[in-house]
Chain A
């Protein structure tokens, strides 16, 4: 009798363990998709106006082209801020390594242009809204390794749903 009870208890425990294990597997699967394939990104703020709205907008970001160095000029990417590693920022790639970039450091004085060459292993990022964007004009070129994802699909708000690579 006692033996049979133990068997019942054991099967409960086994079932619980199996549940926990499959939950763990699911978590691992999520992590791998998130880190190596695609992930959801929510952006907000004025720095990418008019391409990306001020209000929170949801995108799909992919990590395949960033991993293999296939991102190019004009792509909109999510970058870990060089000034605060806990913050992610969305900016447009304005120059890859060895590119010559000419930019206006202060949009109120459009005559004052500056030209630099992007150093090796770095990229030049700029927001579309030159008036309100903290970007490479401020902190210089950033290492490629800070790039997290490339935005490729707009998900929310629903009326903007669709591909997002030719903007």
Chain B
């Protein structure tokens, strides 16, 4: 009798804890690991050297921005891939809707459609981004990356856009 009530209490606490965690991570803030080097040097500056995951950066993602869908240039965002909704990508917003944007590949000038944005990885050479799938709807964005929280020597806020980016705007 005593042990079953203990078990029941434990389950209740566990479920409550789970629900609260899920809510907080959905609505307010969460921590996710970064895979791959497409955002190097801002995130994962040296993935190529080690095969293991122990060098992956963990980043803080805030979800408040998704209430209003207001973003600015240089924001690093998490979005679900337009090619596969189960995948999440982390890229930097380079241009917002209504802006003329010159891509550095073929010197085309294109206008970002209404409600869309143009995302690119900081590591232009190894990045699957708007250069391959075009502008993405803002509705796919799931959060904004604000800080690196792990490993300890890299803790700090995300840098604003790297140098050459500004020239392309």
Residues of chain A at the chain B interface (Cβ within 8 Å)? 24-25, 27-29, 31-32, 35, 69, 80-86, 120-122, 139, 142-147
Contact = CB atoms under 8 A, between A and B. Distances in A.
B140 interface: yes
B26 A146 contact: no
B116 interface: yes
Contacts, number: 72
Interface of B: 16, 19-20, 22-23, 26-27, 68-69, 79-86, 113-116, 136-141
A145 B114 contact: no
Given A84-B115, A85-B69, A145 B80 contact: yes
Contacts of A32: 19, 22-23
A120 B86 CA distance: 13
Nearest to A29: B19
B85 A25 contact: no
A104 to B, nearest CB: 23
Nearest to B27: A31
A83 B81 CA distance: 17
B82 A122 contact: yes
Chain B CB count within 10 A is highest, among A25, A86, A142, for A86
Contacts of B68: 86
Nearest to A24: B20
Given A84-B114, A85-B69, A85-B139, 11 more contacts: A25-B16, A83-B137, A84-B115, A85-B138, A120-B83, A122-B82, A143-B81, A143-B85, A143-B136, A145-B139, A145-B140
